[in-house]
Amino acid sequence: MNMTPLSALLFDVDGTLADTERDGHRIAFNAAFQAHHLDWDWDVALYGKLLAVTGGKERIRHYVSDYLPDYQPPKDFDDLVIALHRSKTRHYTDLLEQGKIPVRPGVRRVLTEARAAGLRLAIVTTTTPENVTALLQFSLGAEAMDWFELIAAGDIVPAKKPAPDIYQWALEKLQLPASACMAFEDSFNGLRSSMGAHIPTLVTLNDYTCDHDFSGACAVISDLGEPDSPAHVFGGNLHGSGYVTLDTVRALHASAAVSSTESSF
Ligand code: XBP
Ligand code: MG
């Protein structure tokens, strides 16, 4: 049982707020490779494997080291990775600007309910800050920039998810104990990160993450659902509702097992 009242919702971005990976980040990486005259092409299946490594720069390095045994990196390989990643970020934010990537079912509704109830909202992600800004602006609307009091993103902490560092950083900034929050994640790496920081976590999965191990999550569901399109529940229960409401989140939060070793501020 969790006796601490719920104060804040912490949202992962990629895969959680929106399905950004297959038709967003992947396309942008490939466009950046082409622009740099590299014949690297990340198809849908390969990209699924590469997602094991979070962070775009880290993913490029992982690809080169694990999938291109014959590639001779140039002397300025570090600069190349940075240039590729800059180009990828430009392509990705262009895709968002074109309105290509909508938010997932229930996201806008739950955010609106949480705001009306006075809950605090934060973003906790490994993606680059510009990507978060563009997603909020173009997929939720310019006003959404003011909804989140904190955006914890990118290289703010050196150890990206699955390390708990980014969540710990966010808790410290918010001055909240882990037990006062609910995290929303979509992947094994994301869940390891939030649980590593002892934060109760609700998982909405997607095509890339549906076979991940989500042990320890408060609930595992297809998406947050909508009144006219209920979510599929794979683990936990939505306390009588077919879709996630703020009451559902509060009930899951109250019944979450909380760690006695969590840090408090
Ligand atoms: C997201 C990621 C990111 C994006 C790419 O993980 O792994 O690396 O794929 O973003 P999570 P950048 O949802 O667990 O935060 O290229 O900007 O790094
Ligand atoms: Mg994610």
Q: In this predicted model, what pLDDT tens digit does every residue of 41-72 receive, in sequence order?
A: 999 999 999 999 999 999 999 999 999 999 99
pLDDT at 265: 45
Ligand 1 atom 10: residue of nearest CA: 127
What is the model's pTM? 0.95
Instruction: Please report the sign of the dihedral spanned by the C-alpha atoms of residue 52, residue 55, residue 58, residue 61.
Output: positive
For the segment(s) 21-97, the CATH number from 1.10.150.240, 1.25.40.420, 1.10.1660.10, 1.10.10.10 is 1.10.150.240
> What is the 3 CA–ligand 1 centroid distance (Å)?
33
The domain limits of the chain are: 8-19+103-263, 21-97
Q: Are 24 and 51 in contact, with CB atoms under 8 Å apart?
A: no
Ligand 1 atom 14: residue of nearest CA: 190
The DSSP code for 180 is: G
Instruction: Please report the sign of the dihedral spanned by the C-alpha atoms of residue 100, residue 105, residue 106, residue 107.
Output: negative
Ligand 1 pocket residue status of 187, Cβ below 6 Å: yes
Q: Is 12 a catalytic residue?
A: yes
Superfamily of chain region 8-19+103-263: HAD superfamily/HAD-like (3.40.50.1000)
The amino acid present at 1, given as its one-letter code, is M
Ligand 1 pocket residue status of 56, Cβ below 6 Å: yes
Ligand 1 atom 16: residue of nearest CA: 56
Ligand 1 pocket residue status of 162, Cβ below 6 Å: no
> What is the 76 CA–ligand 2 centroid distance (Å)?
31
Ligand 1 atom 13: residue of nearest CA: 14
Ligand 1 pocket residue status of 209, Cβ below 6 Å: no
- Phi and psi at 130, nearest 5°, equal -55, -35
Which residue stretches of the chain have pLDDT < 70? 259-265
Q: Give the model confidence (pLDDT) of 123-151 as tens digits.
A: 999 999 999 999 999 999 999 999 999 99
